[in-house]
Chain A
Amino acid sequence: MRAVIAEDSVLLRIGLVKVLETAGFDVVAETGDAEAVLAAVEEHRPGLVVLDVRMPPGFTDEGVRAALVIRQQWPDTAVLLLSQYVEERYAADLLSGDTRGVGYLLKERVADVEEFIDALRRVAGGGTALDPQVVSQLLLRRHSDPLDRLTPREREVLELMASGRSNAGIAEGLFVSESAVAKHINSILAKLDLPKADADHRRVLAVLRFLGVG
């Protein structure tokens, strides 16, 4: 799959190229600013774009804005945003439409190469990858209500579920069996009055709606 990278820090960009190539992507363009990335996407029509949030010229949220343009103009292109810090607003903006092929991770996650490659593949395959910190910050906002009825274990499962992991991924992360995860998820969906859904991304969407995003 073709991929485009937009990251203004040269060192990190080199690292990203290596990781993407290791993961089997074909990096067709790498840029350092948000304007150039749109041109590159137009030209190459990649399957995946990896974007830094903070880029020249303004060093604010150029990456988010470019991501929204890409989502709108080329809906089939998966977008993974990398950020220095978690800002729920960015996640909300990004997830406000379709959650297919969307990711929002902290930059430092790139260093966990194996997990990062997992996230890359998930997003490129139409899934969702949200940083655990994004999810827990979103949970933090909802400090009343049905969330209090969840057990600590169920909260953990909810966080991983919201971050886009599949049942197998959650089971791996918590060192439990997949059937246990399925049981937890059923319990969570019941407690939160969420519709049951089989596809991972629709489940993510439901959870995010519940958390007030999207």
Chain B
Amino acid sequence: MRIPTFLRGPFDGAGRAVALLATGVLVQCGALVVMAVPWLDGGPTKASSCLVAVVAMVAVLAAGCPLLTRMQRARFRARLGVEIPVAGRSWSWRQLGYHLAAGPLIALGGALTLLLWAASAVAATTYVWVWALPTETRLAQAGYAVQAGYLTAAGLAGLYGAAWLSRTLARLDTRAAVRRLGPSRAELLEQRVEEVTESRAGVLDAADAERRRIERDLHDGAQQRLVSMAVNLGLAKVTLTDLPEDARKVIDEAHREAKEAIAELSNLVRGLHPAVLEDRGLDAALSGIAERAPLPVGLTVDLPVRPAPAVEAVAYFVVSEALANVVKHARAGRADVRVETRGGILLVVVTDDGVGGADPTGGTGLAGLAKRVASVDGTFSISSPAGGPTIVTVELPCAP
């Protein structure tokens, strides 16, 4: 026989809720016995010794707090399959609050609910009990059938009520346990920040590795082929001197194009993650950038030890972008680049004597720079009054 949903619904999951409440009651009874120790010998009589007893009780509970927390966590896992996240500390006032207040209160509610279940079950089955009575007794009580009907109805209502109560209490218990026994909001946030920091570092590393891979692929692949082609064309130019003028022109043109393609590809690769940076560090890589800049660039690099690859890459990018901006916008006569470490900070300063007025929110270049710097928790600042000079200062945290 199928029981309609509206009749059956309230009992769905009630079994597990009851099991949770019952085990809760058991755990609290255990705790109660432990707490009752100071009162075993008739209990303290004076107020002062009462206080001592209360303090001792709380102390016992506090000492047992990690154990109790473990038990409660096991209870929720076994009965409901709910995993309560592990808090950062094994002891806290919040956890104690659960064991002293929320836990016992809910256990009390749970005990009453269990009683309601029992009483309602007995009431709902009144007819069964009635039929078990001797016939004379039944006959002596006129109208027993009607009263038994009331009792049965009340019992059934009690069963529904108990089911609802069980589930509500179980829900309350779960919520209280998660809130009090699990990590606090601050701990959760801390954990989250840690995770995010870690995953961001991972993403950065992956991006760096990817850039390096592309650099290597381009270098080993396309660039070698282009160089080889340019060499062949150059050889043709040198050796095939008796070709008609037109043919030599074509070869000449192709040779020039190939060399330009090599130069473009080299520039592209340098923008990604130059091999010199990986092999030889910032000093060598930056002197390459400074040398290629179309204006005089003073370069001072003072690094006793090499920073982490991600930091090196960002510092390189900063100088490269900043100098590109100087060339594009500043109309400067010269620029100066200074890179040094100051107590766990890698300081990069790019100065130019140009017209100033650079707006960090205006172009994509400076905004991209700031973003790249922020990705390693660095700070970016620019001072560029109209008329110059422009000073870009970047501080990157690096382990000393």
List residues of chain A with CB under 8 Å of any chain B CB. Answer: 9, 11-12, 14-16, 18-19, 22, 54, 60-61, 84-89, 107-108, 110-114, 116-117, 133, 136-137, 140-141, 143
Contact = CB atoms under 8 A, between A and B. Distances in A.
B287 A15 contact: no
B284 interface: yes
B298 A22 contact: no
A111 B234 contact: yes
B291 A140 contact: yes
Interface centre among B219, B274, B279, B298 (most CB of A within 10 A): B279
B299 A140 contact: yes
Contact of A114 (B230, B234, B266, B280): B234
Interface string B274-299: 11100110001001101110001111
Q: State the 4 A-B residue pairs at the shortest beta-carbon distance, nearest first.
A: A113-B234, A111-B230, A15-B231, A85-B276
Given A86-B288, A108-B266, A117 B238 contact: yes
Contacts of A141: 287, 299
B266 A12 contact: no
Interface residues of B, number: 35
A25 to B, nearest CB: 14
B234 A112 contact: yes
B225 A11 contact: yes
26 contacts: A9-B224, A11-B228, A15-B228, A15-B235, A18-B232, A19-B234, A22-B235, A85-B288, A87-B276, A87-B280, A108-B266, A110-B230, A111-B227, A111-B231, A113-B235, A113-B237, A114-B237, A133-B291, A136-B291, A137-B291, A140-B290, A140-B298, A141-B299, A143-B296, A143-B298, A143-B299
Interface string B226-254: 01101110110111000000000000000
Nearest to B220: A9
Contacts of A60: 279
B193 interface: no
Interface stretch (B17-25, B76-84, B256-264, B388-396): B256-264
Nearest to B219: A84
Interface of B: 219-220, 224-225, 227-228, 230-232, 234-235, 237-239, 255, 258-259, 262-263, 266, 274-276, 279-280, 284, 287-288, 290-292, 296-299
B288 A15 contact: no
A208 to B, nearest CB: 16
Contacts of B274: 85
Given A9-B224, A137-B288, 12 more contacts: A11-B228, A18-B235, A84-B276, A86-B276, A110-B231, A112-B234, A113-B235, A114-B238, A136-B291, A140-B290, A140-B291, A143-B298
B287 A12 contact: no
Contacts of A12: 224, 227-228, 231
A84 B280 CA distance: 12
A18 B231 contact: yes
B122 to A, nearest CB: 85
A183 B372 CA distance: 50
Contacts of A133: 288, 291-292
A111 B236 CA distance: 11
A113 B238 contact: yes
A137 B225 CA distance: 28
A61 B274 CA distance: 16
Nearest to A114: B238
A116 B259 CA distance: 14
Contact of B239 (A22, A84, A108, A136): A22
Nearest to A116: B234
A19 B231 contact: yes
A54 B274 CA distance: 14
Contact of A108 (B220, B227, B290): B227
A18 B239 CA distance: 11
Nearest to A13: B228
A5 to B, nearest CB: 13
